Amino acid sequence: MDDPRPAILRSTSRRRSDGEARAIGARPLSLAKSMTLEDAFRVTVLECLAHIAANVAAVTRHRDVEGLHQLRVGLRRLHVAFGAFGDEFRTPVLGELKARTKAFSDLVAPARDLDVFIDELFEPVVAKLGHDETFKILRARAERARERAWDDAVEHLARADFSVFQDDAAAAAEARSWLGRDIAGMKARLALRAPVTEISERVLDEQLMRVRKRARGIKALEHRECHRLRIAVKKLRYTAEFYGPLYRKKSMKCYVNQLKTFQDLLGHLNDAAQVRAALSRLTADETTAPHVQADLCFAAGLVNGWHCARAERLGKKVLKRWDKVRRRQPFWA
């Protein structure tokens, strides 16, 4: 039986020689200066959807860690795409799709967060400090929590409402079902026929201004403010990647790489700050025997202390990298 879904949403997962679905990264967009704003929006949304669809099998069938990471990145890129093309796209229909995108991203977040905690925050500390037996109980709890979170993520992605969401997003991009039929809608249609180059610089400037605003007083930023800065940098980076093909490739790549490095550092700093909360959840169990709880708390204290020291080093790197980012000329200027 033929797949009734839009072609862009059919499975595009590459497969290993053993038939196992493989994680797929985002493909470069194919925007051209001759495109209208509407065409650029359509291409961007459909490519984000293709990125998401390409990783579903890797997650639901094979529980591939990188597949979940790529799927979540795809959802985040789609969330940014809905707001990256100007006021004409700030409609109730697209606003509702944007909210659904965020909701699905939040549903798979616990599994991804525990992947990061175990593989990137916990195991490296164990390898550094040794005494693997000290961390045995804590590791077992983390793995059980990860398994439950993965069960939930797979269940959510396998439900019909996730497929319906993908179809609705594709239909909105393809059929322009989000446009109104009133006078404002008619004006929007005229604006959408303008070349995409007429809006790209303004949108990128707005995103950059938001980053600079969030970075004010960066030396004294608290965790919550650093988190907001990281989100702003992420949105600027994704938007720069969307519009990047309209500009000189070399300048664009250098700028985006700077943003990515800065975003990664902020992400590592955020992960280090979240370690305490993750450890609190893993050690909170009133039924645990006192001697087991003591071992858990000791192991948790070692992990938390290691990351507290690491966070101080990361903070210095963030400041140095921000100095480079703010001095670099934007590729669209």
pLDDT, tens digit (0-9, with 9 covering 90-100), for 216-252? 988 887 888 889 999 999 999 999 999 999 999 999 9
**pLDDT tens sequence across 49-73:** 999 999 999 999 999 999 999 999 9
For the segment 138-150, the average pLDDT, to the nearest whole number, is 96
Domain ranges, residue 107: 31-111+141-195
Q: Which of 160, 175, 195 is the last residue of a domain?
A: 195
Question: Do 68 and 97 reside in the same domain of the chain?
Answer: yes
CATH number, position 228: 1.40.20.10
In the chain, the percentage of residues whose pLDDT exceeds 90 is 68
Question: Do 217 and 253 reside in the same domain of the chain?
Answer: yes
> Ranked by mean pLDDT, which of 41-55, 125-139, 272-286 comes out on top?
41-55
Dihedral of CA atoms 66, 67, 71, 72 in degrees, nearest 10, equals -30
Mean per-residue pLDDT over the chain, rounded: 88
Instruction: State the pLDDT confidence band at 20, using cuts at 50, 70 and 90.
Output: low
For residue 14, being part of any structural domain is answered with: no
Question: Do 167 and 210 reside in the same domain of the chain?
Answer: no
Query: What's the CA gap between 9 and 6, in Å, rounded?
Result: 6
Tell me which residue of 234, 194, 221 sits closest to 319, measured CA to CA: 221
| Dihedral (CA of 173, 154, 123, 21) sign | negative
DSSP element (H, E) containing 285: none
Question: Do 158 and 225 reside in the same domain of the chain?
Answer: no
Rg (the chain; Cα; Å): 22
Residue 21 has pLDDT above 80, yes or no: no
Q: Is 287 exposed, middle or buried, given 0-12, 13-18 or 19+ CB atoms closer than 10 A?
A: exposed
Query: What's the CA gap between 126 and 115, in Å, rounded?
Result: 16
Question: Do 187 and 277 reside in the same domain of the chain?
Answer: no
Question: Do 190 and 204 reside in the same domain of the chain?
Answer: no
For residue 275, being part of any structural domain is answered with: yes
Residue 183 has pLDDT above 60, yes or no: no
Q: Which of 164, 180, 195 is the last residue of a domain?
A: 195
Query: What's the CA gap between 124 and 176, in Å, rounded?
Result: 49
**pLDDT tens sequence across 189-218:** 666 788 899 999 999 999 999 999 999 988
Say which residues have a Cβ less than 8 Å from residue 219's Cβ, sequence separation at least 6.
319
**Alpha-carbon separation of residue 29 from 4, 170, 235, 237, 331 (angstroms):** 25, 16, 16, 14, 17
For the segment 161-190, the average pLDDT, to the nearest whole number, is 74
Supply 95's token pair: 């606003």
Residue 15, SS3? strand
For residue 134, being part of any structural domain is answered with: no
CATH number, position 145: 1.20.120
In the chain, the percentage of residues whose pLDDT exceeds 70 is 89
Residue 9 has pLDDT above 90, yes or no: no
Question: Do 44 and 170 reside in the same domain of the chain?
Answer: yes
> Ranked by mean pLDDT, which of 17-26, 176-185, 318-327 comes out on top?
318-327
